[in-house]
Amino acid sequence: MYRTILAGFVAGFAAVLVFHQGTAFLLHHVGNDIPAVVSVLGKTNPPFNLAATKPLGVPVVLSQAFWGGVWGMALAALLATLRPPAILFSTIFGAVALTAVAVTLVPWLKGLPAWNGTIPWRGLLLNGAWGFGTALMLLWAPGLRAPARPLTA
């Protein structure tokens, strides 16, 4: 299980840098020029934000990647235990679980205003991309794939 958890952290960390921030890159550089996208998702800030976070002063993107790794550990454990369809489950898990925590628990912990009830479409998209990418990387990790089922005649 240790190997699964470690692979989950690495996959989740990398998925933030590649899939989450890659989607943010596309939304910022392409989506911000499409009025229909902006009307649904709003304007997207530039990806790879290097501004310091409180209280440690770590760049935002590295903080996001660290927390992506923590969520990746949980996702890897779920995938290894439950053996659901990895890509679908991970995409939905990322979109729903991460976004729900981001709009409820995180503002409460930081003393920010509570969620206003609007659906955070951009968060669902970015976090779903993270889940998709994490699952892809975990499927490549040895020992984390479901065992092959023998073909029956």
* CA 60 – CA 39 distance, rounded (Å): 26
- Measured CA to CA, the distance from residue 136 to residue 141 in angstroms comes to 9
- Closest by CA position to 70, among listed 6, 17, 139: 6
pLDDT of residue 118: 80
- Please report the pLDDT score of residue 143 as a whole number: 56
Note down pLDDT in tens along the chain; length 153 residues.
Answer: 889 999 999 999 999 999 999 999 999 999 999 999 999 999 999 999 999 988 899 999 999 999 999 999 999 999 999 999 999 999 999 999 999 999 999 888 888 888 887 889 999 999 999 999 999 999 987 655 544 444 454
Rounded distance between C-alpha atoms, residue 137 and residue 153, angstroms: 33
